[in-house]
Amino acid sequence: EVQLVESGGGLVQPGRSLRLSCAASGFTFDDYAMHWVRQAPGKGLEWVSGISWNSGTIYYADSVKGRFTISRDNAKNSLYLQMNSLRAEDTALYYCAKDTIHSSSWSFDYWGQGALVTVSS
């Protein structure tokens, strides 16, 4: 059974940093691209970032480019999102999501339950 478990969320002040982690199990992690997708409270989905199976290709939404860094450790079956210079508008539930192929098909077939990030003073 595929499982994605996010951790690292919490309350943080504007301008500070936070690191999210996603522990994957139930599939061959290094066979697939992975993504982060967020959802602000009561709002729709917004893709944040993606990374290919071997970290060779990395993608960011314009809204987070230069502030967020995605990475993965295939030996630990883990995905990460380093979030710097956080803003109030980054407040959201952050989902870890598995792609359907190793590079990216831009569709996400498994999702975690999310990690809540609240940016507020």
Partner 1 sequence: QSALTQPASVSGSPGQSITISCTGTSSDIGSYNLVSWYQQHPGKAPKLMIYEGSKRPSGISNRFSGSKSGNTASLTISGLQAEDEADYYCCSYAGSSTYVVFGGGTKLTVL
Binding site for partner 1 (CB under 8 A): 37, 44-47, 50, 59, 61-62, 95, 100, 105-114
Residue with Cβ nearer partner 1 (50 or 53): 50
Q: How far is CA 23 from CA 61, 67, 94, in A?
A: 23, 22, 14
Within 13 Å and on the Cβ side, how many CA atoms surround 97?
22
**Phi, psi (5° rounding) for residue 113?**
-90, -10
**In terms of Cα–Cα distance, which of 20, 34, 19 is closest to 77?**
34
Q: Cβ closer to partner 1: 96 or 119?
A: 96
CB of 75 to partner 1, least distance (A): 26
CB of 45 to partner 1, least distance (A): 5
**How many other CB atoms sit within 10 Å of the CB of residue 86?**
21
Minimum CB distance to partner 1, residue 31 (Å):
16
Closest to partner 1 by CB, 62 vs 121, is: 62
At closest approach, how far in Å is the CB of 121 from partner 1?
27
